[in-house]
Chains A and B, each alone.
Chain A
Amino acid sequence: MNNIIELQRVCKGYGKGKNRVEILQSLDFSLKQGEFAAIIGKSGSGKTTLLNILGILDGFDSGKYIFKGREIQTLSEKEKNRFRNQEIGFVFQFHYLLKELTVYENIVMPAFLKEGKISKEAREYASELLTEIELMERKDYKVENLSGGEKQRVAIARALINRPALILADEPTGNLDVETSEKIHALFSNLVRKKNQSVLVVTHSVELAALTDTQYKVVNNKLTKNQK
């Protein structure tokens, strides 16, 4: 059983003194290599907060976060940057593409940040991903001109380009219509099965959750596993 990430008794709250609110309390969580998991929960329950911690975008108050055997809290800023760049792929609720760049440029951006250039390997993988998201012929479009669903597909390809161990998606279809969402769901589960990466997705979509291996729910500042 190989845990790619593991949270041990992690606590996180916001504010100070009287305004203090605890969001996550003594939370344990782990994800295996190749596991596809979903987190559901009420709005404001702390799903995004959890994802930000896992994505090393935000810190936490106490507990341990172990990523591929390394304790994240002990890493320097530089190493954290390297982890985010090479080991994690992000898909946000809104596509968050860089609007000045083309479809292709957006996809290879993380690879460029990694190596300072775009290697042959990254180029080939980008083509492969472009085919998979069915946007090969839109490769040189400015992303502004794409539809919402297309943009989100580009964002997914961007999350995959560096072949990260972990992909974090925060309501990736929260903003799309049902039909487009279904397409994205299919894309997600296909990609995951094929590439054996670990995926954690926050979603309100029953359909997407149904495709996953494991489902968690945030209740009372903790995660509970939903039995299938």
Chain B
Amino acid sequence: MKLLLFIAFKHIFGRKRQSFIAILSVIIACVVMTVSLAISSGLDDSMINSMLSMMPHVKAYNGVMAIDNYTQVARKIAQISGVKSATPTYESQGILQYQGLQGNFVTGVMMEGIPMSGSSTAFNLSNITVSGSATFPTMGSVIIGKQLAQNIGAQIGSVVKVISPSDQSLYLTVSGVFYSGYFDYDSRAIILPLQTMQIISQSGDVATAINVQLINPYEASKIASIIAKKTGLLTQTWGQLNYNLLYALSLERTVMILVMSLILLVSGFVVAVVLNTIVKEKTRDIGILRAYGFDQSKVLKIFMLEGIILGIIGLIIGTLLSLAILFILKHYSLPFLTKAYYLVKLPVKLTFKDFIMTTIETFVIIIVFTILPAYKASKLKVVEALKHE
């Protein structure tokens, strides 16, 4: 074994440039794969987290009907273990109009009515309110998203006009601004007191749904079925509510992994080509070793080892480089990158699973591409190999 390793290293160092190119191609494939997987995980994660910070984890509703005994139902749900809070809401589309210094703005919004008490837990408002108050000081208050506030130029204290589908309108004062990090909410949602909402919707004392926040959002489907059983209401988990988005994310990831694997394949080819060159160049040496009794399996092992050594060096450097790049991305904000996204810093998340997957995949591909040249070398006829110039 020591001898095989020795010869393998001799070959690799005897062909510095080719070996360097082979290693480089493995490094590139490894870095591209690791870094993009980490960024994509990070982006997905930050999107899901901001979604989860604000969106109900489970929504309980009564089909197309409204819920009239909503206070009792909410209380009942709140007692289920694993439930952090249950808030009756009245949800409706609406139009928001603002006559500001910069002109007149009209925009479609998603109106969410929540009780004046307990509003801070409903949409996690106490955590995501960035200016003003997380609770309504008066019945004529509204809390809006940061992006929306920026779009229309409104601030705390600005008075906006809200128009409901039943063509009722009210003037409300902006009492708080929230930032969830989830663009859709930050640019479209407005939150107002439930009673105010009931008034402009002319709905009477009802709610459209109970929004349930959980201690662990990933228990949503389990708890949703308990809620359904206890209240007789229909339920939807955040996963179901965002099925399209989550599906798109996972599809995007799968496609990305496939595309990245192509890069790995290319690096596998490079390794195979380099090994082929070495085999050609060392054909006569192989002949000599074989003439002196070296067996075929050892020749195979030598070239397998060479491929594996190139692969491992590439993998180690590639992994270190990826970690360095991810560290920089994580700790320094890169303006040109973050401007394109709705983010301050590029979120990165390297999961152990991704890391292991990249490593194993690289390794498997290198081995697959090493077998052919190595096998070719081992099958060389001694006489022919000796004749080789």
Contacts and interface: CB of A to CB of B under 8 A. Distances in A.
Contacts of B287: 96
A82 B290 CA distance: 11
The interface residues of chain A, by DSSP majority, are classed as: helix
Contact of B292 (A77, A78, A84): A84
Contacts of B3: 112-113, 116
A75 to B, nearest CB: 13
A85 interface: yes
Given A57-B291, A96-B288, A52 B383 contact: yes
B288 A81 contact: no
Interface stretch (B46-54, B143-151, B293-301): B293-301
Interface in B264-306: 284-285, 287-296
A83 B289 CA distance: 14
Interface in B1-40: 3, 10, 14
Contacts of A110: 292-293
A202 B291 CA distance: 18
Interface in A38-82: 52, 55, 57-58, 77-78, 81-82
Contact of B291 (A77, A84, A86, A114): A84
Nearest to A170: B386
Interface size on B, as a range, is 10 to 19
Contacts of B295: 77-78, 81
B293 A100 contact: no
A109 interface: yes
A113 B294 contact: yes
For A52, A55, A100, the residue with the greatest tally of chain B CB atoms inside 10 Å of its CB is A100
Nearest to A92: B386
A78 B295 CA distance: 7
A98 interface: yes
Nearest to A109: B292
B293 A114 contact: yes
State the 9 A-B residue pairs at the shortest beta-carbon distance, nearest first: A85-B293, A100-B10, A81-B293, A84-B293, A57-B382, A110-B292, A58-B383, A81-B295, A96-B288
18 contacts: A52-B383, A55-B291, A57-B382, A58-B382, A58-B383, A82-B293, A85-B293, A86-B293, A90-B292, A92-B386, A96-B284, A109-B292, A110-B292, A112-B3, A113-B292, A113-B293, A113-B294, A114-B293
